[in-house]
Amino acid sequence: MQVTVPQSRVHGDAQVPPSKSYTHRAILAAGYADGALVRHALKSADTRETMGAVEAFGGDVVEVEGVLEIDGFDGNPEAPPDVVDCGNSGTTMRLATGAAALVDGGTVLTGDVSLRSRPQAPLLDAVEQLGGRARSTRGNGQAPLVVEGPIGGGSVTIPGDVSSQFISALLMAGAVTDDGLEIELSTELKSAPYVDITVELLDDFGVHAERTEAGYRVDGGQTYEPTEGEYAVPGDFSSSSYLLAAGALAGDPEVEVRGVYPSAQGDSAILGILEEMGADLDWHRDDGRAVVRRSELTGTTVDVGDTPDLLPTLAVLGAAADGTTELVNAEHVRYKETDRVSAMAEELAKMGAEIEEERDALIVHGSESELVGADVEGLGDHRVVMSLAVAALVAEGETTITGAEDVDVSFPGFFDTLYDLGVSVSRE
């Protein structure tokens, strides 16, 4: 699908969708349980893959009046009757690999072309350390994967700078092993807030995990059981970043973003970063509202080590700001749905942005950038698509984005929301 977005002013209010990160974990946690209700879940392409994984391991997922009713496999996943296809969802593949290590038998996991290029080797090695068998069919550490269990727990050493999802997968699975897990990190942990999300959600499901000096620990023999048998998913700060950025760049008079309650999500940092850049913004934490108005922004330096999903949004803000914006500690951002560092450098350059790309950084010279409408590519990445749509709001003329359907991964109603905010979006 192609979507054309003209230079526009935006106004009104918008509701952020439920958190994709929390939804993935809540669905699988309900699978690890005997069963649970998950309220306010994000229904997207990615989260549907996790629902499918739960069903593949012997659970059942049914939506009734907007609520997910999940009959779980009670800590004992069955050998799937077929290949587990994770689509484009890296979170699904990593979390499902943890569950597969518990199976008394074999599991084959695969995904689309993009997912089959993403790194999985450290998690496969961790399964092997714990007594399971795990391999890449192509011998390159990438899907398709074959995982055989069951593991019983123990100690494992794993790098923390490839994907925090590896640690989340091990913690979730480790809670139902006999012996629990001691996880030692051999390198600095990147994207640490995503593990914080996992620990927080585990606690909500009655499972205790904790940070240690060396890494993380989770006791075995635990039972997943949320309070009163249900869990409510909070709003998504990654998705809110596009709406907040739209307000800061084009809000006239203002945009009110609803559903932004304080949480463990690292991407809540977007509010502080906008304020640092000079945005006229009020965050009403108690009622989850942020009001933002069009502002003259100034470039800044942001370490995206813990907030990789913000890089596309921040690149756009930098291109529209005075001065220079440096997005540093960004190498791991290259291993997402696409290489987001290169993607944003290339696509924003088509729109007139002056950008330097380094291995672990993106440097945006806003003072030298004059954004103009252009034909750009989403490159199979929902976050690239949405950030380019925000850039289009302040680019002279019209911007046409190819591959715009990929917003369905995390924010299915994104372009409807832009339209409601006053943007004459056209689709074909």
Q: How far apart are the first and last CA of the chain?
A: 6
According to the annotation, is 289 in a ligand binding site? no
Q: Is the bond into 253 cis (omega within 30 degrees of 0)?
A: yes
Amino acid identity of residue 172, one-letter, is M
Distance of CA 418 to the CA centre of its chain: 21
How wide is the angle at C-alpha 84 spanned by C-alphas 78 and 88, nearest 5°? 145
| 125 noted as active-site residue | no
According to the annotation, is 309 in a ligand binding site? yes
Instruction: Supply 367's token pair.
Output: 């003072």
Choose the catalytic residue: 196, 309, 406, 408: 309
According to the annotation, is 240 in a ligand binding site? no
According to the annotation, is 424 in a ligand binding site? no
Exposure b/e, 377-407, CB count within 10 A at least 16 = b: bbbbbbbbbbbbbbbbbbbeebbbbebbbbb
Residues 6+ apart with CB under 8 A from 221: 176, 177, 178, 180
Instruction: Supply 196's token pair.
Output: 């914080």
According to the annotation, is 165 in a ligand binding site? yes
CB 354 within 8 A of CB 379: no
According to the annotation, is 383 in a ligand binding site? yes
Specify the 3-state DSSP secondary structure of 358.
Answer: strand
Instruction: Supply 296's token pair.
Output: 């003259």
Q: Tell me the C-alpha distance between 141 and 117, whole Å.
A: 9
How wide is the angle at C-alpha 300 spanned by C-alphas 238 and 197, nearest 5°? 30
Specify the 3-state DSSP secondary structure of 232.
Answer: strand
Neighbours of 285 (CB within 10 A): 11
Residues 6+ apart with CB under 8 A from 192: 164, 266, 306
According to the annotation, is 43 in a ligand binding site? no
Q: Tell me the C-alpha distance between 292 and 245, whole Å.
A: 9
According to the annotation, is 336 in a ligand binding site? yes
Indicate the pairing of strand 361-365 with strand 324-328. Answer: antiparallel
According to the annotation, is 7 in a ligand binding site? no
According to the annotation, is 90 in a ligand binding site? yes
According to the annotation, is 427 in a ligand binding site? no
Specify the 3-state DSSP secondary structure of 288.
Answer: coil
Please report, in range form, the residues annotated as the binding site: 20-21, 25, 90, 118, 163-165, 191, 309, 336, 340, 383
Please report, in range form, the residues annotated as the binding site for phosphoenolpyruvate: 20, 90, 118, 165, 340, 383
Please report, in range form, the residues annotated as the binding site for 3-phosphoshikimate: 20-21, 25, 163-165, 191, 309, 336
User: Where in the sequence numbering do the catalytic residues fall?
Assistant: 309
